[in-house]
């Protein structure tokens, strides 16, 4: 009987995340990098498909001419120093946390029952530079691809002819497949960096070969994780009305007392509660997805994994 590989990967990832709740923090911290992956590429493509976009749409645009003038220079230097320091700290924490997640997941799948968080963290620190290069390269390629696909869509859309419509479909499908390749190779390369401790070039080469041999499997897992994430997001949105409870409660008190302080306190409480829970849910989903990918990565690398779609087609044909 064929092993239910996807069911097992999701089950083991869920067990890992539930058994080691400290990984939720790593998941939240690694989210600070901005998870521009395959799923996010599709979402961004949908959002920007009707307007012209450039690199400035995805990176911070700063009015330098207004900042570096007159008496603003001193405060601008101070603000720049603070922002750079915070940015470096955030990047350090995020990249190391991503490495720690990968290290913890691979250790768990190799049979380690109790993950040593300090050892996982040290592995993240050890491979910080290579993981940073992998992540920055992946994000740059995805943003570049997003800009190119978006520009092409805007050039094809106005005429709405048969040829343009066909080309539009081909461009979108090609962009999505290329985004899948970039994101998946980035995930596998990070796995090789942390687990195998090899150079960046060797990691990317091996990751490219692994993806080439498991294109359909990567697509199937990506779609499965996308469906899970969408389900969780919908549930979160449905439950989001509960976050208004502090605001409603303090507003009622403010109505009786005539104090706007209670209303503002309730509003701030609801906003803070919303973002804290959203960050926690995002961190758990991120840790879960990373764990699922690492299980599949190790199975692919050691044994190879067959596509469920191809298996189903062969079964029906036979």
The Cα 303–Cα 109 span in angstroms is 14
Across all residues in the chain, what is the average pLDDT? 80
Q: What are the pLDDT digits (tens) for 291-313?
A: 999 988 988 887 756 555 554 44
| Residue of 37, 35, 15, 4 lying closest to 183 (CA atoms) | 37
**Which of 5-19, 40-54, 80-94, 139-153 is predicted with the least confidence, judged by mean pLDDT?**
40-54
Check: CB of residue 123 under 8 Å from CB of residue 103.
yes
**Which of 53-57, 110-114, 215-219, 276-280 is predicted with the least confidence, judged by mean pLDDT?**
53-57
**Which of 24-38, 162-176, 198-212 is predicted with the least confidence, judged by mean pLDDT?**
24-38
Tell me which of 302 and 249 has the higher pLDDT: 249
Biggest CA–CA distance in the chain, Å, is 79
Q: What are the pLDDT digits (tens) for 177-187?
A: 898 899 999 99
Helix boundaries (H) for 110-214:
117-126, 128-156, 162-191, 200-213
Q: What pLDDT band is residue 9 in, cutting at 50, 70 and 90?
A: confident
| Chain-centre distance for alpha carbon 211 | 18
**Which of 87-91, 233-237, 260-264 is predicted with the least confidence, judged by mean pLDDT?**
260-264
For position 132, what pLDDT does the model report?
Answer: 93
Check: CB of residue 241 under 8 Å from CB of residue 231.
no
State whether residue 2 is helix, strand or coil.
coil
The Cα 258–Cα 308 span in angstroms is 63
The Cα 240–Cα 270 span in angstroms is 10
Q: What is the pTM of this model?
A: 0.80
List the chain domain ranges: 5-313
The Cα 74–Cα 58 span in angstroms is 28
Residue holding tokens 């081909």? 170
| Chain-centre distance for alpha carbon 27 | 10
The Cα 186–Cα 203 span in angstroms is 9
Check: CB of residue 49 under 8 Å from CB of residue 155.
no
**Which of 7-11, 134-138, 156-160 is predicted with the least confidence, judged by mean pLDDT?**
156-160
Taking residues 158-181, report their average pLDDT. Answer: 80
Q: What pLDDT band is residue 142 in, cutting at 50, 70 and 90?
A: confident
Say whether pLDDT at 71 is over 80.
no
């Amino acid at each position: 009987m064929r092993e239910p590989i996807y069911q097992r990967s999701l089950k083991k990832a869920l067990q890992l995340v539930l058994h080691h709740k400290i990984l939720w923090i790593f998941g939240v911290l690694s989210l600070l990098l901005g998870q521009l992956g395959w799923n996010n590429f599709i979402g961004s493509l949908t959002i920007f498909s009707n307007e012209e976009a450039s690199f400035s749409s995805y990176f911070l645009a700063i009015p330098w001419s207004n900042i570096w003038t007159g008496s603003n220079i001193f405060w601008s230097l101070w603000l720049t120093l603070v922002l750079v320091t915070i940015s470096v700290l955030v990047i350090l924490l995020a990249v190391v946390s991503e490495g720690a997640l990968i290290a913890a997941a691979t250790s768990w799948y190799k049979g380690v029952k109790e993950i040593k968080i300090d050892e996982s963290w040290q592995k993240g620190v050890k491979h910080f530079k290579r993981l940073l290069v992998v992540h920055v390269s992946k994000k740059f390629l995805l943003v570049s691809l997003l800009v190119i696909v978006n520009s092409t869509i805007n050039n094809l859309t106005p005429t709405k002819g048969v040829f343009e419509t066909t080309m539009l479909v081909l461009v979108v499908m090609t962009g999505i497949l290329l985004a899948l390749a970039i994101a998946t190779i980035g995930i596998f390369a990070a796995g090789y960096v942390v687990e195998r401790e090899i150079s960046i070039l060797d990691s990317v080469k091996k990751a490219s070969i692994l993806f080439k041999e498991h294109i359909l499997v990567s697509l199937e897992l990506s779609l499965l994780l996308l469906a899970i994430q969408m389900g969780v997001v919908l549930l979160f949105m449905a439950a989001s009305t509960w976050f208004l409870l502090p605001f409603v409660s303090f507003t009622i008190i403010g109505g009786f007392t005539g104090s706007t302080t209670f209303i503002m306190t309730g509003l701030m409480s609801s906003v803070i509660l919303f973002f804290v829970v959203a960050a926690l849910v995002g961190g758990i989903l991120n840790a879960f997805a990373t764990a699922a990918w690492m299980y599949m990565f190790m199975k692919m690398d050691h044994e190879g994994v067959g596509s469920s779609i191809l298996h189903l087609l062969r079964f029906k044909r036979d």
